[in-house]
Amino acid sequence: MKTDAPHRGRLYSLDVLRGITVAGMILVNNPGSWKYVYAPLRHAEWTGLTPTDLVFPFFMFIMGVSAWASLRKYGGKWSADGCRKILRRTVSLFLVGLAIAWFSTSLGTWNSLAAEPVGWGERLLRSISDLGHVRISGILQRLAVCYGAGALIALRWGRRPLPWIAGALLLGYGIVLAVGNGYAYDTTNILSVVDRAVLGAGHMYNDHGIDPEGVLSTIPSVGHVLIGIWIGSIVFSDEPLAARRRKTLLAAAVLLAAGLLLSPVCPVSKKIWTPTFALVTCGLGAGILGGLIWLTDEKQKLRGAFGRFFEVFGSNPLFIYATATLMAIMLYKTRLGAGTLYSYIYTHAFQPWLGDYGGSLCFALAFVLVNWAIGWWLYKKKIFIKL
């Protein structure tokens, strides 16, 4: 973990879009009750796309765009120093994700031992040493692996071959899905077979036997980040800003069209990160980024309260997301009566006043604001924590 100031020349639009995405990730992950969630704030059951399905792929896309801002100083030439920095960040981010997963498992084990006749010391030791159920994959772990792979590829080969490498990864993964029963929502799916063999059932987030951040679906996710890096080479080029914006919007249209045209034979699905899902979400992300470049960087609009609100999230994105995740875990795992502190706050502070669905949504919004306040303090102090 490193604390430093953001580099010069960054686009305001990128900070705003990154902030919108982080706020969206926190919002959709923390409803007051999972039983009462409005449809747009739910993930698609298997295939299809909801607004909620966009937040994680948008963040991965933006991570790729931002990666090019750091890589461009190497001029497309291999650098041992650049390689060390990429590997250091990859390992540290992966370990942070793994530590959060371990923390969640430890608290869960601590609660499960409450009814057993064991002392405090033994209970603590058994809790912190319960490694058999720690999830190996996860949001931060996938971000780490995909950033590391994508950045190393871009550092080694530069920007020109990136679309071709990304296309090859997506095509290869599409073939794997086609021949490996990859669209089956059960344990016969090749993704499930590989996840259980490599990760082990105890180390997975089991969704019908499939881990949404599993082993094989990391392949198209790397391609996803490579598309982001390629878009980054456009938006951070030396051309006039208007030209960069036009090229970004053109790329967005091509990506979106390709994903939609291929969707009848390769359905859009976040749960298995299909090639069409990568193309469609990268296309949408690039389109929104292009629009924000025009609004915020060219026309200097949305730089007031709206822009500043999301800029706070965008200035320390991974730290705020990790903090929000830890906070949610502690609320979920803290027992209070027959339920948890999380459910207690919802049922006593939000549900009685705003109803089931309204209370659940407002709980999530309040949770976003609490984490924004943490980010605002860091922003005011000019503290930028880079995970």
Answer whether 192's CB lies under 8 Å from 210's CB: yes
pLDDT value for 387: 79
pLDDT value for 115: 83
Q: Is 200 left (phi over 0), alpha (psi -120 to 50) or beta?
A: left
pLDDT value for 77: 80
pTM (predicted TM-score):
0.93
The residue extents of the domains of the chain are: 2-386
- At 135-151, the pLDDT tens digits run 999 999 999 999 999 99
- At 340-386, the pLDDT tens digits run 999 999 999 999 999 999 999 999 999 999 999 999 999 999 999 88
pLDDT value for 5: 37
pLDDT value for 170: 98
pLDDT value for 194: 96
Alpha helices in the chain (DSSP H): 12-29, 52-71, 80-112, 120-128, 139-157, 162-179, 190-198, 218-235, 241-262, 275-292, 305-315, 317-333, 341-345, 351-354, 356-380
**CA gap 75, 79 in Å, rounded:** 10
Low-confidence ranges of the chain (pLDDT < 50): 1-8
Q: Given the structure tokens 């089931």, which residue do they identify?
A: 356
